[in-house]
Structure 1
Amino acid sequence: MAELPPSYNPPVPSYRAPAPSGHPKYDFNYAVKDDPSGNDFGHQESRDGYNTQGNYYVLLPDGRLQRVSYTVNGDSGYVAQVEYEGEAQYPAYQPAPAYQPSYKPAPGYA
């Protein structure tokens, strides 16, 4: 590996990030509900210092809605409570129809 000449001084970054002031505090949320695709999910969270609380939900493929509520308070770690709404639905198995190509093979030549 080539060594740099002793007079090399790396460039000084032109951006200095401001020092954080105070403790972290924020709130956010989002939700997505797309009926044609069946997507339904969202998330909400708020934080004030070391105290964080939130919840998120998702519509599962079996038709139930899964909700997770959680808290984080200091060094207590992530504490979650999971709940389900609705009844799981398992429709009867329907085998796919036999594959039918939509093209005809090219004619063979002898």
Structure 2
Amino acid sequence: MNSKIFFVAALIAVSAADRRPYSYSAPDFSSEEFGPAHYNFDWAVQHSDSGNNFGHQEARDGDDTQGSYFVQLPDGRLQTVRFSVQGDSGFVPEISYEGEARYPDSFESFESFESRESRGYAPPRPVYG
């Protein structure tokens, strides 16, 4: 009986030793093989019904990156951030605002909570036909 257990254990050891270990290493390529980065893009969203107005523009040539992004703030101003990144200098922003901030005179100018609640949900009428 002991020889059978020894034989099975030896068979398991041999089959386990035959497997290759898994390797979890980094891929064998470098970003330098593809050359310096070059790109240029821009996009914008302007939706007058919701008041959304924002966008982004960026261009890169090697280590030199220039760009800007903007957003329409809730107070009515347009915030623009112009930025540059040159090598290891880091992100260098320049922030500007267009327009003047507008705030309501008082809380009474906002629609009252009760009037908003009165518009409650009404299920659609069934249509037969």
- Report the TM-score, using the length of structure 2 for normalisation: 0.64
Q: Could you tell me which residue of structure 2 aligns to residue 57 of structure 1?
A: 70
Q: Which sections of structure 2, spanning at least 5 residues, go unmatched?
A: 1-14, 23-27, 123-129
Question: Which structure shows the bigger proportion of residues in helix conformation?
Answer: 2
Q: Could you tell me which residue of structure 2 aligns to residue 80 of structure 1?
A: 93
Question: Which structure shows the bigger proportion of residues in strand conformation?
Answer: 1
Give runs of aligned pairs for residues 15-94 of structure 1, distance below 5 A. Answer: 20-91=33-104, 92-93=106-107, 94=110
Q: Could you tell me which residue of structure 2 aligns to residue 96 of structure 1?
A: 113
Q: Secondary structure at the match of 2:60?
A: strand
Q: Secondary structure at the match of 1:75?
A: coil
CA–CA distance in 2 between the matches of 1:50 and 1:102? 55
CA–CA distance in 2 between the matches of 1:24 and 1:80? 21
* 1:5 to 2:22 alignment: no
Q: Which sections of structure 1, spanning at least 5 residues, go unmatched?
A: 11-15, 104-110
For 1:68, give the aligned amino acid.
V
Larger RCO (CA under 8 A, 6+ residues apart): 1
CA RMSD of aligned residues (A): 2.7
Give aligned pairs, total: 96
Q: Percent identity?
A: 44
